[in-house]
């Protein structure tokens, strides 16, 4: 895959560099977090052509000095690795001009992207006043938000900054709740600084956040206009960040694709992840991992009673049609299941549930296990390893111990005549839970008409499958809901080794 990231500074330097003095790029500022060791942080900015830039880092550890030349109006420095901590002062000097950053910390930097459920602000969630009151207790979780802009070409720098780097509680009320809570929970575990970079836009499709390279992988052509045009938010709100060294990313998006090329999402979403990883790796000069951890929220709910398959289809496609992550197509990923967190009275619409605490907590469990390798952290809900058709019964064996609440309508079987496969027009019939074991659920198959037989089984395959935290299958602890699945005759089901 051809990349032009190494030369990207040159052709737009005249736009941003100007003839003035020295300055940092838009997303560097006082109070920011730079990526800690073992990776190296990258800093860059603008300056007088041909000037020699001296970059000095001073703080708890020894004074460090790096040198760079301004070429085509741009200078760039890759620091030596710095351990977590701070604060540091960063000073760039050239000729008679200086630029400085103060109160800079080193920790892990996470990018938060997606559409409106990622954008939903901390001031709008359940217990918002409590969350905002305790925000000041987390001064080492720093936040930054990119401006809402689009571009038909790849930008080198952000066109606009929505929220500058801030120390809580400043700006937390207007910052992504999922992003903030994820960072807060993570910092409680890691006990070192966390930097959060929000870049999202409500109502947007995955295609607008994807580069043309990624879209070509899935035969997606350039369509639409405004913020619905392919790649326009990649160009303006992701591409400028590529030079930043990051630890990983979290993502909450997919609602817009329930009615727009949902059949392509199982390709377009993994392709976007792959492309982001490659682009950030190249843009940071190899400092951001080529396989950086990527977490996402499996869609919650929208319309109670809806018979549309849009939401269940996208939930399935979010996992590249495996039903779980990580898997062989989506390695080093983690997922927060959210279909059991509906909010029927949300003043922001039922598509925007206000319980973002559980969402962020489930994401944090995934990050601790996948991104940080913490042993013994459960982060996946139960998933079938085997489905066996018995006489008038179906036995579902899960990969872990389960807590089961009897239900009549969340498991469904597909009934067809003879050995006909289950197709788009086939009827699905509720299959009540009859018995349960430590790792099994026994369903009745005696609901098919006499001339028909079972040809498929699915779980929670609807927009709004259950009430709040009341789905029938959870982990034994009751913390993690089982994700939805669908299995048809002649198809395999169950986890594969990753």
- 377 in a structural domain: no
Asked if residue 120 and residue 101 are part of one domain, the reply reads no
Tell me how far the alpha carbon of residue 295 is from its chain's centroid.
4
283-286, long-range: CB < 8 A, 24+ apart: 283/5, 283/8, 283/242, 283/243, 283/244, 284/42, 284/242, 284/243, 284/244, 284/245, 284/246, 285/42, 285/78
- pLDDT value at residue 498: 22
- pLDDT value at residue 10: 28
Encode the chain (498 residues) as per-residue pLDDT tens digits: 333 333 333 223 333 333 458 999 999 999 999 999 999 999 999 999 999 999 999 999 777 889 999 999 999 999 999 999 999 999 999 988 999 999 999 999 999 999 999 999 999 999 999 999 999 999 999 999 999 999 999 999 999 999 999 999 999 999 999 999 999 999 999 999 999 999 999 999 999 999 999 999 998 675 555 567 999 999 999 999 999 999 999 999 999 999 999 999 999 999 999 999 999 999 999 999 999 999 999 999 999 999 999 999 999 999 999 999 999 999 999 999 999 999 999 999 999 999 999 999 999 999 999 999 999 999 999 999 999 988 889 999 999 999 999 888 999 999 998 888 888 888 899 999 999 999 999 999 989 888 888 999 999 999 999 999 999 999 999 999 999 999 987 554 555 322
Asked if residue 125 and residue 66 are part of one domain, the reply reads no
Asked if residue 220 and residue 354 are part of one domain, the reply reads yes
CATH number, domain with residue 358: 3.40.50.1110
Asked if residue 364 and residue 218 are part of one domain, the reply reads yes
- State pTM to two decimals: 0.93
Count Cα atoms within 13 angstroms, Cβ side, for 283.
Answer: 23
Final residue in a domain of this structure, among 65, 88, 105: 105
Q: Is 254 left (phi over 0), alpha (psi -120 to 50) or beta?
A: left
Asked if residue 124 and residue 101 are part of one domain, the reply reads no
Phi, psi of 140 (to 5 degrees): -95, 5
Q: Which two tokens stand for residue 431?
A: 């299959």
Asked if residue 355 and residue 300 are part of one domain, the reply reads yes
- 183 in a structural domain: yes
For residue 222, the SS3 value is coil
- 498 in a structural domain: no
Final residue in a domain of this structure, among 45, 72, 105: 105
CATH number, domain with residue 69: 2.60.40.10
For tokens 């009897």, the residue is 406
- pLDDT value at residue 19: 43
Asked if residue 296 and residue 163 are part of one domain, the reply reads yes
C-alpha to C-alpha distance for 222 and 379, rounded to whole angstroms: 37
Count Cα atoms within 13 angstroms, Cβ side, for 337.
Answer: 27
- Are 401 and 439 spatial neighbours (Cβ–Cβ below 8 Å)? yes
Q: Is 469 left (phi over 0), alpha (psi -120 to 50) or beta?
A: left
By residue range, what is the domain housing residue 19?
Answer: 5-105
Asked if residue 300 and residue 203 are part of one domain, the reply reads yes
- pLDDT value at residue 11: 28
- pLDDT value at residue 423: 84
- Give the helix/strand (H/E) hosting 145: strand 141-146
> Residue 345: which residues within 8 A CB-CB, separation 6 or more?
none
- pLDDT value at residue 226: 59
Asked if residue 167 and residue 31 are part of one domain, the reply reads no
Asked if residue 156 and residue 188 are part of one domain, the reply reads yes
- pLDDT value at residue 390: 85
C-alpha to C-alpha distance for 299 and 158, rounded to whole angstroms: 29
- 495 in a structural domain: no
**Count of domains observed in the chain:** 3
Asked if residue 93 and residue 66 are part of one domain, the reply reads yes
Q: What is the largest CA-CA distance in the chain?
A: 89
Asked if residue 188 and residue 248 are part of one domain, the reply reads yes
- pLDDT value at residue 222: 58
């Amino acid at each position: 895959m051809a990349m032009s990231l190494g030369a990207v500074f040159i052709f737009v330097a005249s736009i941003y560099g100007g003839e003035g003095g020295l300055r940092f790029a838009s997303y560097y500022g006082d109070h920011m977090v730079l990526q800690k060791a073992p990776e190296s942080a990258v800093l860059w900015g603008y300056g007088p052509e041909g000037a020699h830039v001296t970059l000095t880092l001073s703080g708890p550890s020894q004074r460090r000095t790096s040198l760079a030349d301004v070429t085509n109006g741009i200078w760039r420095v890759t620091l030596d690795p710095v351990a977590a901590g701070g604060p540091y002062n960063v000073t760039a000097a050239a000729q008679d001009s200086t630029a400085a950053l103060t109160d800079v910390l080193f920790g892990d930097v996470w990018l938060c992207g997606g559409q409106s459920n990622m954008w939903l602000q901390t001031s709008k969630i359940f217990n918002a006043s409590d969350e905002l009151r305790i925000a000041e207790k987390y001064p080492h979780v720093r936040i930054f938000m990119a401006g809402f802009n689009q571009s038909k070409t790849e930008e080198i720098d952000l066109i606009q900054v929505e929220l500058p780097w801030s120390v809580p509680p400043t700006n937390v009320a207007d910052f992504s709740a999922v992003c903030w809570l994820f960072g807060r929970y993570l910092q409680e575990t890691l006990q070192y600084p966390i930097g959060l970079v929000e870049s999202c836009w409500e109502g947007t499709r995955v295609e607008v956040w994807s580069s043309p390279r990624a879209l070509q992988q899935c035969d997606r052509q350039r369509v639409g206009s405004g913020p619905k045009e392919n790649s326009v938010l990649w160009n303006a709100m992701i591409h400028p960040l590529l030079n930043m060294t990051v630890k990983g990313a979290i993502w909450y998006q997919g609602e817009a694709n329930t009615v727009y090329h949902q059949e392509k999402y199982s390709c377009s979403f993994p392709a976007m992840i792959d492309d982001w990883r490659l682009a950030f790796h190249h843009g940071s000069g190899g400092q951001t991992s080529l396989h950086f951890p990527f977490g996402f929220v499996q869609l919650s709910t929208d319309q109670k009673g809806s018979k549309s398959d849009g939401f269940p289809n996208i939930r399935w496609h979010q996992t590249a049609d495996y039903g779980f992550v990580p898997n062989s197509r989506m390695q080093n990923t983690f997922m927060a299941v959210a279909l059991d967190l509906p909010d029927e009275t949300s003043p922001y619409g039922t598509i925007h549930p206000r319980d973002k605490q559980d969402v962020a907590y489930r994401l944090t469990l995934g990050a601790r296990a996948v991104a940080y390798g913490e042993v013994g952290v459960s982060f996946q809900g139960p998933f079938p390893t085997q489905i066996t058709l018995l006489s008038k019964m179906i036995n579902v064996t899960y990969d872990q111990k389960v807590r089961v609440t009897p239900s009549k309508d969340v498991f469904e079987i597909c009934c067809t005549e003879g050995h006909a496969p289950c197709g788009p027009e086939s009827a699905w019939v509720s299959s009540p839970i009859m018995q349960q074991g430590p790792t099994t659920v026994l369903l009745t198959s005696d609901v098919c008409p006499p001339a028909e037989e079972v040809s498929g089984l699915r779980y929670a395959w609807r927009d709004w499958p259950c009430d709040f935290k009341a789905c029938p299958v959870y982990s034994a602890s009751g913390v993690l809901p089982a994700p939805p699945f669908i299995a048809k005759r002649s198809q395999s089901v169950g986890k594969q080794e990753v």
